[in-house]
């Protein structure tokens, strides 16, 4: 019954400590910038960190990091190239900025293939920038990745939260570990998300304000780490991700 690829993938993650999926039921809520910032801060705190961009249809962590032209080495699998002190895998190592010629089942297969061939070796943390929504890409990642813990991002919007709630209910139903919910891009204080999340018995971690400086830091991590946004990221790392 079990897929033979499961065992291969499990072996690839054998020496990886925490595996954290940054996810949301909704697009455009800040998953990629949160995932990238978490990886950078964990690395700055002395941990061995990998960053995996699993958003094959619109990868963006490379834009936030400001990197291009990275090529993985191939040797009994593929070795993630290093950048910013992170082991870093993204579909853009192969496709650059061309539209990924993948759809539906192809995306699933490509994700599973990447999980099966990437040699992460020893890591304290692997941060995964997940594709938006709860489509096949998310479901396959849940199915094939061992020991996944979810960090779920929402905005204060009731519309966004409807989709985020569906993801949370799915994770609860599948008995997947949820570290908690981050409320991002907050412009006006309010309790809606906090109380909704509590009703589901999920931890509400932090609220991050909309930071008008953030856009100017895209591609320049030296500037990113000086923002109020990143200050909140550091709090999350200290309080919820380090033991
Ligand atoms: N707290 C914030 N303040 C201001 N801008 C923000 C904040 N969080 C994210 N952004 C901006 O919002 C945009 C979307 O962020 P990001 O790409 O990380 O979202 P995403 O959820 O990964 O989107 P997608 O679903 O397309 O993958 C980016 O331009 C980012 O800089
Ligand atoms: Mg993204």
Contact between 178 and 171 (Cβ < 8 Å): yes
How far apart are the CA of 44 and the centre of ligand 1, in A? 22
* 214 touches ligand 1 (CB under 6 Å): yes
pLDDT band per the 50, 70, 90 thresholds, residue 95? confident
pTM higher than 0.85: yes
- DSSP class per residue in the chain: ---HHHHHHHHHTTTEEEEEEEE-SSSSSSHHHHHHHHHHHHHHTT--EEEEE--SSS--HHHHHT------EESSSEEPPEETTEEEEETHHHHTTSPP---THHHHHHHHHHHHHB---SEEEEEEEPPSSSSHHHHHHHHH-TTEEEEEEE-S-HHHHHHHHHHHHHHHHTT-EEEEEEEEEE-S--SHHHHHHHHTTPPEEEEEE--TTGGGGTT-HHHHTTSHHHHHHHHHIIIII--
Q: In Å, how far from its chain's centre is CA 21?
A: 5
* 27 touches ligand 1 (CB under 6 Å): yes
User: Above 60 in pLDDT, residue 1?
Assistant: no
How far apart are the CA of 124 and the centre of ligand 2, in A? 23
Q: Which of 22, 33, 230 to mutate to test the pocket of ligand 1 (most atoms within 8 A of CB)?
A: 33
Per-residue pLDDT of 109-143, as tens digits, reads 888 889 999 999 999 999 999 988 898 889 999 99
Q: Report the nearest-CA residue for atom 19 of ligand 1.
A: 30
* 233 touches ligand 1 (CB under 6 Å): no
How far apart are the CA of 154 and the centre of ligand 1, in A? 11
Per-residue pLDDT of 200-217, as tens digits, reads 999 999 999 999 999 999
């Amino acid at each position: 019954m079990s897929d033979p690829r499961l065992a291969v993938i499990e072996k690839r993650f054998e020496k990886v400590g925490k595996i954290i999926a940054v996810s949301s039921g909704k697009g455009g809520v800040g998953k990629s910038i949160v995932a990238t910032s978490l990886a950078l801060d964990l690395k700055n705190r002395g941990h061995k960190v990998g960053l995996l961009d699993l958003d094959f249809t619109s990868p963006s962590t490379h834009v936030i990091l400001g990197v291009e032209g990275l090529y993985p080495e191939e040797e009994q699998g593929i070795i993630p190239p290093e950048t910013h002190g992170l082991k870093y895998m993204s579909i853009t190592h192969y496709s650059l900025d061309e539209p990924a010629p993948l759809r539906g089942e192809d995306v699933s297969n490509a994700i599973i293939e990447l999980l099966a061939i990437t040699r992460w070796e020893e890591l304290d943390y692997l941060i995964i920038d997940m594709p938006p929504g709860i489509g096949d890409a998310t479901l396959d990642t849940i199915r094939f990745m061992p020991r996944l813990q979810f960090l779920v991002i929402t905005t204060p919007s009731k519309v966004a939260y409807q989709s985020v709630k569906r993801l949370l209910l799915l994770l609860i139903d599948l008995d997947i570990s949820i570290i908690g919910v981050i409320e991002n891009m907050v412009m006006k204080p309010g309790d809606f998300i906090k109380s909704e999340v509590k009703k589901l018995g999920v931890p509400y971690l932090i609220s991050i304000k909309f930071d008008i400086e953030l856009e100017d830091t895209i591609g320049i991590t030296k500037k990113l780490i000086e923002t109020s946004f990143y200050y909140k990221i550091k709090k999350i790392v200290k309080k919820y991700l380090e033991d």
